[in-house]
């Protein structure tokens, strides 16, 4: 039996980032992945014969350039099929609103709104810079802070001061409020307001009127700082990212065993000792890094009985209710969206006519119901990457909000109804699309949970809301990647700064482990 | 639909008998139950405990039943002691802590049978007990109202109980449990108590409570059995150096101000903490405290003079170094005792300090700076407390 | 009976209705616009410092939203605000309000009636409350002790700052830095874990917060209702946990979190403040509707009334809400652009309505003994958080809640002055009620529909209720705005969400009571620490004004919260 310095549970993208950095530092790393392939939410899967799709995340919007560079992903085969894509807010009558970079076109968008957006976007980017600073390091402790923490706090404080009085005031106000109000303060066009507010609520259990959605919006805009002037699409789907990361990891000496589910993270007297696999095999390691979400990590793998009650309470109180479903359609041809120019078909298409519509869509999920009229973030990846389907056929992938984790009576009673709701809605924008459907697949939050091992099906491994970010993520005592169990670290989206195929949680965790001299 | 219970306080299963015996008609509130502060005269009640037998209605004490395959494992994670060392039909005194190693409460664990335990505690605890049950195959239920309990304490207590028909009781060792039949119901007797003397606690179904009281007092009459109330109990427990939750420490979850809770080390309960256990609540923090040193020390003080040092500041060279949490003149030991919280490093055995005592006579207030000394052990600890077989008086 | 407190003679003497010739020439040291409780408090402290102060009131009576009015013969309604807890005891004592007639009587507990016919009784007595909680959930009864301790921790964090001017975090002035240090110290004193708990608490929803402690729907609903009172947010909206706190931080005789009735209705608060103010030589002028604050050379010079009269003073204090202050009684040209924008963006959404009902007798409630102490408390009928949330969904949709959250009290069970013997007055606070219905003004039909939804909800649990109604006065945000001058009828002069608290209240950069024009100040609930009949904004503003005027401070320090 080989002894490893680091055993990693799960080989999602954050895990791969972390493992790579640890291997580079000279540590011997073994990754255990329950699935057949590594990559977690960066996955491509054939969902119908001849049709492949990015089965979880569909766009790349904010992968950290630090990750890109340190892992030499381009050298390891990562290729963009398209990038800096526009966002098209669809109209049933075909008068679509197009946001390309900072430019708005169509839908009789007024000059005032165009100017207001340019101003707004500039201001948001200034705010985002502070966020990005905070994201690229561990979240500082406040009371028991050491020098590194105080330095981070100082940098953040300085960043705030450098914004100037007006911007600082504005940031401190809007960070706490909702997209709805901020949109109302700045813009007129209903679809512009809805389009931007959707960015604040994607993947969350919040509507435009929920306070904290401005944070969600800023979080997403960090991608602009990372060089993404709009969503990007990878050749071969998001699975290509996983492949490049795996290649990079292997080159760095990381060992990855897929199809090996971890049964438990083993501890003795508050120290981690290794892992036991479902197969019964026991692995010993000085350090265990968990890429799976904090609830799975502590409840299922470490076991609540092996940690103290206060930690159990903290883990149980993590809010990870998802409201997001994923729809995959195999289409016999390119769907025809009313009035959509051919050149925009491969861009990001959004169904969110106005903020109240989006808010109503959200209302349902509060009561464990699904939206009668959901909001959607649609990708037709085959336009930019025809290889995902055979014979000129197409794939449509959509993030659909909102769908509850568990509707009354269970999903099996409702699955077909909800697919019909979504198809009927799509039909309003792309008449005839239903007749093109060759196969369909709906991934409910429960499906996302079981396929990607995310408790609650939440793609951030826990709601990305102000009460669960920075030093509150995932909870006190585990907010600097190390946990209450000595030698057990977290490196997934449940940790600071969060998910969204950014890679910083993994990178920060690796830095922290190296800094603490873990497993050496 | 059941409406709300409109009474202010509940009564215990012994209430009819307690009320009849309570000549002072002086009542208090103990965790939602009306309980006598005294029955006839506090002094006489106290001396019943110390010289003959005193009976105390213990029913309001919080009682929680822990059963299921993981009961032992569950308790071992919950409390600071090694529960596996509390054998079947034995009782153990213990504390339990939060993750910060701060005491949530102290209490006793009754090992009733295989994976069958009862926790008796002062503070309400079901929320914490259930949170702690996450991840264990265990059933935790509150049974405060399902069990009536009497403490029978004092030199003649064994004789009185044997007179009631509990034959062989004298063979029961301290912290042991024995079962008897009482009119077809199971009567559980433990050799436990809160008075520091020979004594027993009786546990029975509420429907038999009044019968038990009647037969106990009838059988105990020749052995001079008297009921006693809260105030007499308070004297006895201070004399024997027992701490009381809510008085000598504040249960950690009830504290509002940072730093007002206490660790077991700070309460003089080091002997209850088994740091060799791999996992228990507070372990990590207590290990750190062990390495770093505690903030406070619990001390039993022998205070000069006869003025009880209630609420006194404790001084060293004129500087305040602690406070008294409980104090009483102890009539048996003829000593003026105070239980105190002292800032480290004060409070080592033999330390000489000063208690700033204020007392009033006919509206005339006097301040006394009474010298006091840290004692090694409680002032009252008679051999009969531990002797087995128990002596008849 | 039925005599309104402000009618009693000493005040009436102070109220001068015919003012034209007399005041045209007079220049005051300070003019306070609006005789709400904060305006009166502010004026009292200015007058106490020796200033010649006039308070101008648009209505023919004083009080703003702290009024008692006879709108039905023989009955006194606490027309707007209806209970008293947050009124700072330091100010009550310092201004000698008890001597001036204010008597606050605590009331205990409350009850939430359930759809299944049962109820949860939130008894005032701790043990009974514990047992009643345990009846619904033993675990919740125990968890409530932890919940109370945790809420108190947060309360202790905010209470010391109620009678202090918030520091400006963007400022480098010594005073601001010193104050910020004090805040910092107070936060650091919580320890790392405590501070994280605090940060979480201040950013999460009341629903999520309660879910961490309780399992019983009705207990959560009973406790959660206060998290949305007066707020255009739902129980699942992040930030509402703080609103909950806002209702826990008051005290009646030191019992933190308890509530009381002002004997004679809330108008007694204003009446006592007015007497105190007049005792210091102040002057109250009613029927004086301010048209504009006069600004010359960037300085406040006085006010022009709608009737053409002008009154002069170098210090002008607005007790009006920020929108009314900057968008109504001030001229845009006198203001920096950012202030106009900030005032426009200020969130002051009407979300509440009110019913004041004269009753022929004490109504009975299904399953509850009329002699129960629960009758003396507040009644609610929303027995789960989802029901509360759906009530909010209606508001978002632009209509009143069809299944509203109500806070019902019958103060005449303890106050003999507000209704004839044997008769009763019921005050019904209703959440939610929008300022406009689907974007349109309220019609009489809408108002009737709103009233019906409330009456029906109560009647569903009180079979004799409808028959006992002698008179019902229904107030939507429209009426509240018309009467008390609160924009959109928002009872707190602006939402109490974190983005509008402390140094953000009313807006960043203007949280120290000074307006953008020299000599112009704000003293209403739209400033720190906000609404709820605290009188703290008025007192804090007075302290700042006196500092600017280099007058000795007359405003007391807050009691230490040890």
On whether any CB of chain C is under 8 Å from the CB of A224, the answer is no
Residues of B within 8 A of A313 (CB-CB) are: 131
Contacting C residues, span 289-348, partner chain A, CB-CB under 8 Å: 338, 344-345, 347
Phi (first) and psi of residue A502, to 5 degrees: -110, -40
Provide mean pLDDT across the span A360-368: 97
DSSP category for residue C365? B
Mean pLDDT estimate for chain A:
95
Q: Which two tokens stand for residue A245?
A: 């990361």
SS3 B355: strand
On whether any CB of chain A is under 8 Å from the CB of C396, the answer is yes
- At C265-288, the pLDDT tens digits run 999 999 999 999 999 999 999 999
* pLDDT over 80 at B105, yes or no: yes
Say if residues B129 and B78 touch (Cβ distance below 8 Å).
yes
* pLDDT over 50 at C9, yes or no: no
- Nearest Cα to Cα of residue A329 among A58, A97, A61: A58
- At C371-421, the pLDDT tens digits run 999 999 999 999 999 999 999 999 999 999 999 999 999 999 999 999 999
Whether B5 and C131 lie within 8 Å, measured CB to CB: yes
Provide mean pLDDT across the span B87-94: 98
Identify the bridge partners of residue C105 per DSSP, sorted by sequence position. C261
How many residues are there in chain B? 393
Phi (first) and psi of residue A227, to 5 degrees: 95, 15
Whether A211 and C497 lie within 8 Å, measured CB to CB: yes
pLDDT band at C173 (very low <50, low <70, confident <90, very high): confident
Cα–Cα distance between C279 and C491 in angstroms, integer? 29
| Residue B383 C-alpha, separation from nearest chain A C-alpha, in angstroms | 39
What is residue B279's predicted lDDT score, i.e. its pLDDT?
96
What is residue C299's predicted lDDT score, i.e. its pLDDT?
97
Phi (first) and psi of residue C212, to 5 degrees: -75, -15
SS3 B290: helix
Window from A303-312, A370-379, C178-187 with minimum mean pLDDT: C178-187
Radius of gyration of the CA atoms of chain C, in A = 23
Query: Token match 């209903």: residue?
Result: A190
Residues of B within 8 A of A316 (CB-CB) are: 134
CB nearest C188 (choices: A143, A170, A185): A143
Neighbours of B363 (CB within 10 A): 5
Residues of B within 8 A of A477 (CB-CB) are: 99
What is residue C25's predicted lDDT score, i.e. its pLDDT?
61
Residues of C within 8 A of B12 (CB-CB) are: none
What is residue C4's predicted lDDT score, i.e. its pLDDT?
43
Contacting C residues, span 13-42, partner chain A, CB-CB under 8 Å: none
Cα–Cα distance between C39 and C17 in angstroms, integer? 19
Residues of A within 8 A of B279 (CB-CB) are: 267, 269-270, 305-308
Residues of A within 8 A of B284 (CB-CB) are: 270, 308, 484
CB nearest C203 (choices: A143, A206, A212): A212
DSSP category for residue A232? B
| Cα end-to-end distance, chain C, whole Å | 43
Neighbours of B391 (CB within 10 A): 14
Q: Which two tokens stand for residue A513?
A: 């482990």
pLDDT band at B8 (very low <50, low <70, confident <90, very high): confident
How many residues are there in chain A? 520
The secondary structure of B119-146 as a DSSP string is: EEESS--HHHHHHHTTTS--EEEE-GGG
- Nearest Cα to Cα of residue A225 among A362, A115, A125: A125
Provide mean pLDDT across the span A330-346: 97
* pLDDT over 50 at C7, yes or no: no
- At A393-440, the pLDDT tens digits run 999 999 999 999 999 999 999 999 999 999 999 999 999 999 999 999
The secondary structure of A333-393 as a DSSP string is: S----TT--GGGTTSEEEE---HHHHHHHHHHHHTT---SS-EEEEE-GGGT-GGGBSTT-
What is residue C5's predicted lDDT score, i.e. its pLDDT?
45
Phi (first) and psi of residue B141, to 5 degrees: -130, 145
Phi (first) and psi of residue C21, to 5 degrees: -60, -40
- At B306-333, the pLDDT tens digits run 999 999 999 999 999 999 999 999 999 9
Whether B99 and A270 lie within 8 Å, measured CB to CB: no
Say if residues C45 and C539 touch (Cβ distance below 8 Å).
yes
Whether B128 and A309 lie within 8 Å, measured CB to CB: yes
Q: Which two tokens stand for residue A340?
A: 């959509």
Q: Is the pTM of this model over 0.80?
A: yes
Say if residues C30 and C55 touch (Cβ distance below 8 Å).
no
Whether C196 and A209 lie within 8 Å, measured CB to CB: no
Q: Which stretches of C397-476 are DSSP H helices?
A: 444-459, 465-468
| Residue A496 C-alpha, separation from nearest chain C C-alpha, in angstroms | 14
- Nearest Cα to Cα of residue A217 among A236, A194, A244: A194
pLDDT band at C22 (very low <50, low <70, confident <90, very high): low
DSSP category for residue A205? S
Residues of B within 8 A of A267 (CB-CB) are: 279
- At B244-284, the pLDDT tens digits run 999 999 999 999 999 999 999 999 999 999 999 999 999 99
Mean pLDDT estimate for chain C:
92
Say if residues B24 and B38 touch (Cβ distance below 8 Å).
yes
Cα–Cα distance between A462 and A474 in angstroms, integer? 8
Nearest chain B residue to C143 by CA distance is B127
Highest mean pLDDT among A145-159, B104-118, C114-128, C181-195: B104-118
What is residue C256's predicted lDDT score, i.e. its pLDDT?
64
Cα–Cα distance between A155 and B275 in angstroms, integer? 41
| Residue B204 C-alpha, separation from nearest chain C C-alpha, in angstroms | 22
Burial call C404-437: b when 16+ CB within 10 Å, e when fewer = bbbbbbbbbbebebbbbeebbbbbbbbbbbbbbb
Helix, strand, coil content of chain B in percent (nearest 5): 25, 35, 40
Nearest chain A residue to C389 by CA distance is A366
Burial call C280-312: b when 16+ CB within 10 Å, e when fewer = bebbbbbbbebebbbbeeeebbbbbbeeebebb
Residues of B within 8 A of C143 (CB-CB) are: 127
Residues of B within 8 A of C113 (CB-CB) are: none
* C371 CB-contact burial (10 Å; exposed 0-12 / middle 13-18 / buried 19+): exposed
Radius of gyration of the CA atoms of chain A, in A = 22
CB nearest A172 (choices: C200, C397, C504): C504
Nearest chain C residue to B253 by CA distance is C146
Whether C127 and B100 lie within 8 Å, measured CB to CB: no
What is residue C3's predicted lDDT score, i.e. its pLDDT?
41
A vs C: CB pairs below 8 A:
103
Query: Which chains lie within 8 Å of chain A at 3 or more CB pairs, if any?
Result: B, C
Whether A305 and B284 lie within 8 Å, measured CB to CB: no
Query: Which chains lie within 8 Å of chain C at 3 or more CB pairs, if any?
Result: A, B
Nearest chain A residue to B76 by CA distance is A305
Report ipTM (2 d.p.).
Answer: 0.94
Whether C156 and B100 lie within 8 Å, measured CB to CB: no
- CA dist C423 → C41, C76, C465 (Å): 34, 11, 13
Whether C145 and B253 lie within 8 Å, measured CB to CB: yes
Residues of A within 8 A of C497 (CB-CB) are: 176-177, 211
What is residue C249's predicted lDDT score, i.e. its pLDDT?
78
């Amino acid at each position: 039996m080989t002894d490893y310095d680091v055993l990693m549970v799960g080989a999602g993208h954050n895990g791969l980032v972390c493992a790579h950095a640890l291997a580079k530092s000279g540590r011997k790393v073994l990754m255990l992945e329950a699935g057949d392939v590594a990559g977690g939410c960066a996955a491509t899967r054939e969902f119908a014969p001849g049709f492949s799709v990015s089965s979880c995340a569909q766009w790349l919007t904010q992968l950290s350039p630090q990750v890109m560079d340190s892992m030499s992903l381009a050298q390891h085969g990562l290729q963009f099929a398209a990038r800096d894509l526009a966002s098209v807010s669809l109209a049933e009558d075909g008068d679509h609103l197009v946001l390309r970079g900072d430019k708005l076109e169509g839908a009789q968008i007024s000059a005032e709104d165009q100017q207001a957006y340019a101003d707004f976007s500039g201001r948001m980017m200034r705010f985002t810079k502070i966020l990005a600073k905070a994201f690229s390091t561990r979240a500082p402790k406040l009371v028991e802070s050491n020098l590194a923490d105080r330095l981070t706090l100082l940098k953040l404080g300085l960043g705030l001061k450098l914004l100037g009085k007006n911007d600082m005031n504005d940031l401190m106000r809007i960070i706490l409020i909702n997209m709805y109000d901020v949109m109302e303060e700045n813009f007129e066009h209903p679809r512009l307001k809805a389009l931007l507010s959707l960015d604040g609520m994607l993947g969350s259990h919040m509507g435009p009127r929920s306070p904290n959605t401005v944070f969600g919006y800023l979080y997403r805009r960090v991608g602009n700082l990372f060089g993404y002037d709009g969503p990007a699409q990878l050749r071969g789907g998001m699975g290509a990212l996983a492949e490049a990361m795996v290649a990079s990891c292997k080159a760095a000496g990381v060992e990855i065993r897929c199809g090996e589910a971890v049964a438990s993270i083993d501890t003795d007297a508050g120290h981690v000792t290794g892992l036991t696999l479902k197969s019964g095999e026991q692995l010993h390691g000085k350090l265990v890094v968990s890429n799976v979400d904090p609830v799975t990590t502590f409840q299922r793998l470490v076991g609540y009985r092996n940690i103290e009650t206060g930690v159990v309470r903290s883990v149980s109180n993590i809010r990870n209710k998802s409201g997001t479903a994923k729809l995959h359609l195999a289409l016999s041809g390119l769907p025809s969206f009313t009035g959509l120019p051919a050149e925009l078909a491969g861009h990001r298409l959004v169904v969110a006519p106005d903020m109240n519509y989006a808010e109503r869509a959200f209302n349902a999920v509060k009561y464990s119901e699904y939206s009668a009229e959901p909001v959607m973030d649609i990708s037709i990846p085959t336009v930019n990457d025809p290889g995902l389907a055979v014979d000129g056929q197409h794939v449509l992938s959509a993030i659909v909000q909102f769908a509850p984790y568990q509707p009354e009576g269970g999903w099996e009673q409702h699955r077909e109804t909800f697919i019909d709701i979504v198809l009927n809605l799509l039909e309003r924008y792309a008449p005839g699309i239903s007749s093109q459907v060759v196969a369909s697949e709906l991934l409910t939050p429960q499906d996302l949970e079981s396929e990607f091992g995310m408790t609650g099906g939440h793609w951030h491994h826990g709601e990305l809301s102000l009460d669960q970010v920075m030093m509150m993520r995932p909870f006190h005592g585990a907010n600097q990647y190390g946990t209450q169990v000595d030698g057990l670290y977290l490196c997934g989206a449940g940790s600071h700064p969060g998910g969204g195929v950014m890679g910083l949680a993994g990178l920060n965790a690796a830095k922290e482990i190296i800094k603490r001299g873990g497993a050496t | 639909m059941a409406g709300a219970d409109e009474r202010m306080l509940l009564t215990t299963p012994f209430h009819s008998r307690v009320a009849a015996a309570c000549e002072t008609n002086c009542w208090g509130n103990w965790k939602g139950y009306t309980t006598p502060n005294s029955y006839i005269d506090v002094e006489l009640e106290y001396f019943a405990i110390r010289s003959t037998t005193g009976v105390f209605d213990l029913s309001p004490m919080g009682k929680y039943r822990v059963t299921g395959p993981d009961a032992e494992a569950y308790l071992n994670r919950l409390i600071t002691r090694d529960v596996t060392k509390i054998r079947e039909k034995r009782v153990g005194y213990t504390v339990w802590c939060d993750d910060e190693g701060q005491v949530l409460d102290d209490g006793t664990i009754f090992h009733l049978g295989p994976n069958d335990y009862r926790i008796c505690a002062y503070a309400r605890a079901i929320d914490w007990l259930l949170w702690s049950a996450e991840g264990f195959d265990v059933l935790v239920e509150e049974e405060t109202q399902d069990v009536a309990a009497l403490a029978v304490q004092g030199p003649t207590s064994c004789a009185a109980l044997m007179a009631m028909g509990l034959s062989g009781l004298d063979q029961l060792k301290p912290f042991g449990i024995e079962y008897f039949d009482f009119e077809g119901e199971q009567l559980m007797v433990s050799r436990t108590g809160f008075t520091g003397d020979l004594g027993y606690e009786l546990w029975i179904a509420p429907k038999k409570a009044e019968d038990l009281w009647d037969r106990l007092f009838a059988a105990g009459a020749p052995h001079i059995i008297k009921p006693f109330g809260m105030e007499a109990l308070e004297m006895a427990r201070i004399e024997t150096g027992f701490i009381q939750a809510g008085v000598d420490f504040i249960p950690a979850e009830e504290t509002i101000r940072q730093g007002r809770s206490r660790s077991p080390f700070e309460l003089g309960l080091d002997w209850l903490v088994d740091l060799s256990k791999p996992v228990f609540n507070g372990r990590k923090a207590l290990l750190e405290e062990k390495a770093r040193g505690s903030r406070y020390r619990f001390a039993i003080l022998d205070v000069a003079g006869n003025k009880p040092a209630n609420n006194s500041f404790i001084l060293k060279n004129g500087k305040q170094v602690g406070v008294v949490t409980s104090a009483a003149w102890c009539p048996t030991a003829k000593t003026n005792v105070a239980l105190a919280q002292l800032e480290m490093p004060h409070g080592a055995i033999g330390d000489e300090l000063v208690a700033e005592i204020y007392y009033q006579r006919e509206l005339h207030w006097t301040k006394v700076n009474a010298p006091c000394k840290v004692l090694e052990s409680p002032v009252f600890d008679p051999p009969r407390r531990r002797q087995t077989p128990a002596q008849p008086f | 009976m039925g005599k309104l407190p402000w009618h009693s003679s000493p005040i009436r003497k102070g109220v001068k209705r015919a003012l034209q010739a007399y005041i045209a020439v007079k220049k005051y040291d300070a003019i306070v616009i609006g005789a709400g409780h904060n305006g009166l408090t502010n004026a009292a402290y200015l007058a106490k410092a020796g200033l010649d102060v006039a308070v101008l009131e648009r209505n023919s009576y004083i009080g703003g939203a702290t009024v008692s009015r006879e709108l039905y013969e023989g009955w006194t309604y606490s027309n707007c605000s209806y209970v008293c807890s947050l009124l700072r005891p330091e100010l009550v004592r310092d201004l000698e309000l008890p001597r001036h007639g204010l008597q606050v009587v605590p009331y205990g507990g409350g009850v939430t009636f359930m759809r299944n016919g049962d109820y949860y009784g939130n008894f005032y007595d701790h043990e009974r409350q514990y047992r009643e909680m345990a009846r619904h959930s033993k675990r919740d009864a125990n968890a409530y002790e932890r919940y109370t301790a945790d809420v108190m921790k947060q309360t202790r964090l905010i209470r010391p700052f109620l009678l202090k001017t918030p520091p400006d975090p963007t400022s480098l002035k010594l005073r601001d830095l010193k104050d910020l240090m004090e805040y910092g110290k107070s936060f650091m004193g919580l320890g790392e874990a405590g501070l994280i708990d605090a940060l979480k608490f201040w950013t999460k929803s009341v629903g999520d917060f309660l879910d961490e402690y309780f399992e019983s729907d009705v207990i959560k609903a009973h406790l959660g209702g206060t998290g949305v009172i007066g707020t255009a947010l739902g129980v699942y909206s992040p930030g509402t946990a703080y609103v909950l706190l806002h209702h826990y931080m008051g005290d009646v005789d030191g019992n933190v979190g308890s509530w009381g009735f002002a004997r004679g209705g809330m108008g007694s608060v204003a009446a006592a403040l007015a007497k105190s103010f007049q005792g210091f030589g102040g002057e109250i002028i009613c029927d004086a509707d301010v048209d504009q604050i006069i600004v010359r050379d960037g300085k406040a010079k006085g006010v022009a009334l709608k009737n053409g009269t002008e009154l002069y003073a170098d210090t002008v204090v607005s007790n009006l809400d920020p929108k009314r202050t900057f968008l109504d009684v001030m001229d845009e040209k006198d203001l920096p652009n950012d202030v106009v924008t900030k005032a426009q963006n200020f969130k002051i959404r009407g979300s509440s309505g009110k019913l004041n009902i004269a009753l022929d007798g004490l109504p009975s409630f299904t399953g509850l003994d009329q002699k129960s102490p629960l009758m003396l408390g507040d009644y609610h009928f929303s027995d789960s958080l989802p029901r509360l949330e759906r009530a909010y969904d209606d508001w978002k949709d632009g209509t009143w809640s069809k299944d509203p959250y109500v806070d019902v009290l019958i103060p005449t069970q303890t106050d003999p002055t507000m209704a004839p013997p044997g008769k009763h007055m019921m005050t019904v606070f209703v959440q939610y009620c929008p300022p406009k219905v689907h974007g349109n003004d309220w019609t009489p039909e809408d108002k009737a529909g709103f009233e019906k939804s409330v009456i029906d909800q109560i009647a569903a649990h009180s079979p004799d209720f409808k028959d006992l109604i002698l008179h019902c006065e229904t107030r939507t945000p429209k009426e509240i705005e018309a009467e008390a001058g609160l924009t959109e009828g928002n009872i707190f002069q602006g939402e109490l969400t974190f983005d509008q608290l402390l140094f953000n209240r009313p807006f960043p950069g203007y949280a120290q009571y000074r307006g953008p024009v020299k000599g112009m100040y704000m003293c209403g609930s739209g400033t720190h620490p906000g609404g709820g009949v605290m009188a703290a904004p008025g007192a804090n503003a007075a302290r700042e004004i006196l500092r600017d005027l280099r007058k000795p401070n007359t405003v007391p320090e807050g009691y230490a919260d040890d």
